């Protein structure tokens, strides 16, 4: 069975009938979010156009909230699904001091640990996401 069909995929912040937004527990990547489709579909083109647009709207709201709260140097958006073929988007704030920068977070680490984020970022981001997404 599919892991994202059986489990939330992170700490649930928001959801509607189409998708959910979760925060990923990763000390090296504070603010790492996933936007996960609520039903099992593998590819964006498996969705009707209105659902594609609605899902991407959520991804863009999440990216904007992450940028507003954490002010990263870059944001990575990725929809891979090679390990879990369930449609989901990664929204990953990147900082020049993170473990892998400028490499992908799944690549070879260049530093032993990431630069920590300011305390309180999580509550602010969760609040901002709920406000932006309704």
Q: Where are the domains of the chain?
A: 3-133
pLDDT for res 52: 98
Q: Is 77 helix (H, G, I), strand (E, B) or coil?
A: strand
pLDDT for res 7: 95
pLDDT higher than 80, residue 115:
no
3-133 under CATH 3.90.226.10, yes or no:
no
Between the alpha carbon of residue 26 and those of residues 22, 39, 47, 98, the distances in Å are 12, 25, 30, 12
At 19-64, the pLDDT tens digits run: 999 999 888 899 999 999 999 999 999 999 999 999 999 999 999 9
pLDDT for res 113: 80
Q: What is the mean pLDDT of the chain?
A: 94
Between the alpha carbon of residue 40 and those of residues 3, 57, 75, 86, the distances in Å are 10, 19, 26, 6
């Amino acid at each position: 069975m599919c892991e994202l069909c059986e489990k939330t995929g992170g700490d649930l912040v928001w959801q509607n009938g189409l998708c959910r937004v979760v925060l990923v527990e990763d000390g090296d990547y504070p603010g790492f979010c996933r936007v996960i489709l609520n039903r099992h579909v593998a590819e964006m083109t498996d969705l009707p156009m209105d659902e594609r647009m609605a899902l991407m709207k959520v991804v863009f709201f999440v990216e904007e909230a992450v940028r507003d709260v954490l002010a990263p140097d870059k944001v990575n958006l990725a929809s891979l699904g090679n390990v879990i073929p369930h449609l989901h988007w990664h929204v990953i704030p990147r900082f020049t001091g993170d473990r892998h920068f400028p490499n992908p977070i799944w690549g070879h680490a260049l530093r032993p640990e990431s630069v920590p984020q300011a305390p309180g970022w999580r509550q602010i981001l969760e609040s901002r996401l709920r406000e932006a997404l309704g």
